[in-house]
Amino acid sequence: MTNLARMTRRLPTPLVLTTAICLVGVGIPLLTPAQAATAPLTFRRTVLQDQKAYGEPSLALSADGKHIAVCVPGGAGETSDWYSNDDGHTFGTSHTNSTNGGGDCELDYLPNGTLLNADLEITDSAIRYSQDYGKTWQGTQTAGVEQDRQWFAHSKDGKTAYLVYHDFAAEGEFYAQSNDGGLTWPTTLAAQPVNGPDQLALPGTGAGRPGDPASLVDQGGNTFSGPMLVSPDNKDLYVVYSVSDAQTNATSSTPPYGQTRGIVVAHKGPGASSFSNRYAVASDGLSTTGAIFPWGTIDKAGNVYVLFNSDKGSKGHFHTYYVVSTDKAKTWSGPVKVDDNPLAAGAQIYATGAAGAAGVLDIAWYGAAAGGGPADKASVWDIHFAQVRNATSAHPTITRALVAPGNPIHRGDICLNGLLCILGGDRSLADFMELAIGKDGMAQIAYSDNTGFTSGSKGRVVWAKQVGGQSALAPTASAASARVAASAAEPVTQPVTLPRTGGGTGGVLAATGLDQALPGAALLLLLGAAVVRRRRTGLSPAEGNLRRRQVVTRRRK
């Protein structure tokens, strides 16, 4: 919470009213004070037993809410896996083997309880499945063609399984498809294109707007793949990925490609023969957006969210944002800044998340409160969590917390250059971690830790489950009536957001657009003061007016 928000909470009601009126006059940005707390956000954690690696943990939860699985690349042709049948209180270990594996690991639980595991082989992915919740593995198949960074998805009934990825040669987006619940993966369905004909007509100048088709010229040979999403009604497919643009590729200081500048969401509706690929966040030619992998999720009402990190407004200082589409990726909101760190301080990276009830979004990320950015060797990193409610409205509310207060997960720099980190930088945490929402609506997170709660210098995977705060599956009635739970670690604030639109440059982020919301913020502060007065007196506005008239009458007598 800002110092201003803290001060206004402590001011007497008349002074709060005066302050709000004055702030409108002089144009000082302000945030709305939080409402009263209902429950703190808290987590319990389990440090998973040592295996061969701990970076890039993938997390999968069973539909019945009883089983949890986590995996990481194990190296030497295998993945390291952990499984729990008792809500994460204990975990067993297993591993998979494949001829050329040991690359990226990915998990997915199907509705029937089958657990899929994809081990990246570069030439394809080796797929194995478990029918005892991760204890043993069987049925090695290969899926896809030469590839990097793969993600699973499945249909509502689980009969169709997908593996989405980008290929090394053209850096195009593709997916493989299994029609028997991941047991077999036909070679005829190994490389179905996500890119579509709507991407061929643009010149590739990087000047597109959110909602515009994303040019293949901009995509060039530089994509970072995010997940595939399946709509709740099983009718729509979405694929999230980030790209650079032709202009910055040509002028990059690290050729042949520039940093990722825009984020694309491909959509394929019922009956469509191909995907449409539109910008959710457009390139501004300056900031890095979507570092290192963008993330996508979809809520129970079918609203599509993209979560990402960007250093827009303060070079090198990344922050966590989301945008949302309520019309199947045709148009997109302006970016909403989720973290409350100052724009020019520290860095927030590796955003991951999942959506629950309509307009409810859970997000986790690694954050350093101070320092010069990810490359700062003096940075201290924590695992952060936020729950956003009314996320599709112009006035979302955000509850924030540290997952492991007092236990940083990393000290030093974190390299965001992927495989190029071999040229310098600490890539010990690898490139992502993962959050999922369980059947009970509580968030679960698998993350890497090599300095804090795990103790010692050797890194571990930590599994954490939300045990306090609101369930993501609990609906929020409206922005006006929502009561937000305050975290003991970080107070709640009301973010100021940009108008939701399908046009515009898409380059201005919420943290730099406070002046556009001043009148509304002041009005909310005035209303908040009225609520405070009512709470203090216990009177309704009508009762208060009657009481004041009675006082005036007595004084006159």
pLDDT tens digit sequence for 41-69? 999 999 999 888 899 999 999 999 999 99
> Other C-beta atoms within 10 Å of 27: how many?
9
Judge whether residue 1 has pLDDT over 50.
no
Please say whether the beta carbons of 310 and 335 come within 8 A: yes
Rounded to an integer, what is the distance from CA 265 to the centroid of its chain?
15
- Give pLDDT tens digits for 140-198: 899 999 998 999 999 999 999 999 999 888 788 999 999 999 999 999 999 999 999 98
The pair phi, psi for residue 171, each rounded to 5°, is 55, 35
Of residues 122 and 222, more confidently modeled: 122
- Give pLDDT tens digits for 110-136: 999 999 999 999 999 999 999 999 999
Domain locations in the chain as residue ranges = 1-33+517-557, 34-512
Cβ neighbours for 108, distance < 8 A, ≥ 6 positions apart = 60, 115, 116, 152, 153, 154, 161, 182
Q: What does each C-alpha distance from 403 to 14, 105, 176, 260, 369 come to in angstroms?
A: 38, 24, 35, 29, 15
- Give pLDDT tens digits for 233-263: 999 999 999 998 777 777 776 666 778 889 9
The pair phi, psi for residue 349, each rounded to 5°, is -140, 170
Judge whether residue 91 has pLDDT over 80.
yes
> Other C-beta atoms within 10 Å of 244: how many?
28
Judge whether residue 351 has pLDDT over 60.
yes
- Give pLDDT tens digits for 265-321: 999 999 999 999 999 998 887 889 988 899 999 999 999 999 999 999 999 999 999
Determine the CATH number of domain 34-512: 2.120.10.10
Which residue's structure tokens are 């007509």?
Answer: 201
Rounded CA-CA distance 234/211 in Å is 23
Q: What does each C-alpha distance from 144 to 98, 125, 174, 355 come to in angstroms?
A: 15, 7, 8, 28
The pair phi, psi for residue 22, each rounded to 5°, is -65, -40
- Give pLDDT tens digits for 374-395: 999 999 999 999 999 999 999 9
Of residues 100 and 342, more confidently modeled: 342
Q: Quick one: pLDDT at residue 283?
A: 83
What letters, b where the CB count within 10 A reaches 16 and e where it falls short, cover 323-350?
bbbbebbebbbbbbbbbbbeeeebbbbb
Nearest Cα residue to 299 out of 349, 233, 224, 239: 233
Q: Quick one: pLDDT at residue 217?
A: 81
Give the count of alpha carbons within 13 A of 41, CB side only.
32
Q: Where are the alpha helices (DSSP H) in 192-231?
A: 216-219
Q: Quick one: pLDDT at residue 102?
A: 80
Rounded CA-CA distance 173/377 in Å is 35
Rounded CA-CA distance 203/213 in Å is 11
Nearest Cα residue to 174 out of 194, 199, 155, 150: 194
Q: Quick one: pLDDT at residue 517?
A: 33
| Highest-scoring range by mean pLDDT, 10-24, 278-292, 468-482, 512-526 | 278-292
Q: What is the mean pLDDT of the chain?
A: 80
Mean pLDDT of 506-529: 32
